[in-house]
Amino acid sequence: MKKELVEKIKANPDYQKLVKTRSGFSIKLTVAMLVVYFTFILTIAFNPSALGAPLGADTVTTVGIPIGMAIIVFAFILTGIYTKRANGEFDDLANAVKKSVGED
């Protein structure tokens, strides 16, 4: 890519908005996932009996199993949220940048 084109793209207000918006959004989702995950891990480390308690009197399944599964589902949901926004708003901004610099 030519240096002039790179500079033109970097100076584009749509590109700057894209970078700022996408970075902020991905950081928020990352922090949300890390909080959920590390809360689970720290609970295992410092209060294992809370997650090791059985779900019922006659069951061997513990509280930690459905919570662990919920964390996996939460990760899929966050991925879906990001994908939906990326395919909408972020793609629109990227297309606007391409159109303004004349690169299709």
Inside any domain, residue 1: no
Inside any domain, residue 54: yes
3-state helix, strand, coil in the chain (%, to 5): 85, 0, 15
Inside any domain, residue 2: no
Which residue(s) pair with 62 in the sheet? 54
Q: How far apart are CA 96 and CA 66, in angstroms?
A: 44
Inside any domain, residue 3: no
Inside any domain, residue 8: no
Q: How far apart are CA 104 and CA 99, in angstroms?
A: 7
Inside any domain, residue 22: yes
Write out pLDDT tens, residues 48-68: 999 999 998 898 999 999 999
pLDDT reported for residue 1 = 61
Q: What is the mean pLDDT of residues 71-78?
A: 98
Domains in the chain: how many in total? 1
pTM reported for the whole predicted model: 0.82
User: Across the chain, how many H-helices and E-strands are there?
Assistant: 5, 0
Q: Which domain holds residue 42?
A: 13-101
Inside any domain, residue 78: yes
Residue 103 has pLDDT above 80, yes or no: no
Q: How far apart are CA 99 and CA 93, in angstroms?
A: 10
